Amino acid sequence: MHVRAIALVLTACFATSAYAVTKVLQMPADSEQLRASPLPGYAKAQANCVACHSAEYMLYQPPTAPRAYWAAMVKRMKAVFKAPIADADMPVIVDYLVKTYGNEQSK
């Protein structure tokens, strides 16, 4: 009697958390694309920076963030999360990021 009640509660918990995870994963899918740019880093960022998360992550960074901040970010993606970014592409991507989302924006 008792055991059965506990099993039911557990089932309910799992069902709820599975639903929550599904929602979170669906949200950023293609809601936000990288901002188009004539800079060469645009294509490289498309190839290297939106495989794991949406471009929304760039929008949440401060627009006052300087080049060094973006360089550290790209390095962190590679070192911590094992993003397969070629070293030669890193400065090109950083250039695009700081001019598109950071403190070197022209507008």
Contact by Cβ (8 Å): 93, 78 = no
CA distance 95 to 67: 7
The torsion angles phi and psi of 41, rounded to 5 degrees, stand at -70, -15
Site residue total, ligand HEC (CB under 6 A)? 17
85 binds ligand HEC (CB under 6 A): yes
Region from 3-11, 12-20, 29-37, 81-89 binding ligand HEC, contact rule CB under 6 A: 81-89
**Amino acid letter for position 44:** K
51, 64, 87, 88: which one binds ligand HEC (CB under 6 A): 51
- 98: contact with ligand HEC by CB under 6 A: no
Number of CB atoms found within 10 A of residue 28's CB: 14
Binding interface with ligand HEC (CB under 6 A) = 48-49, 51-53, 57-58, 61, 73-74, 77, 81-83, 85, 93, 97
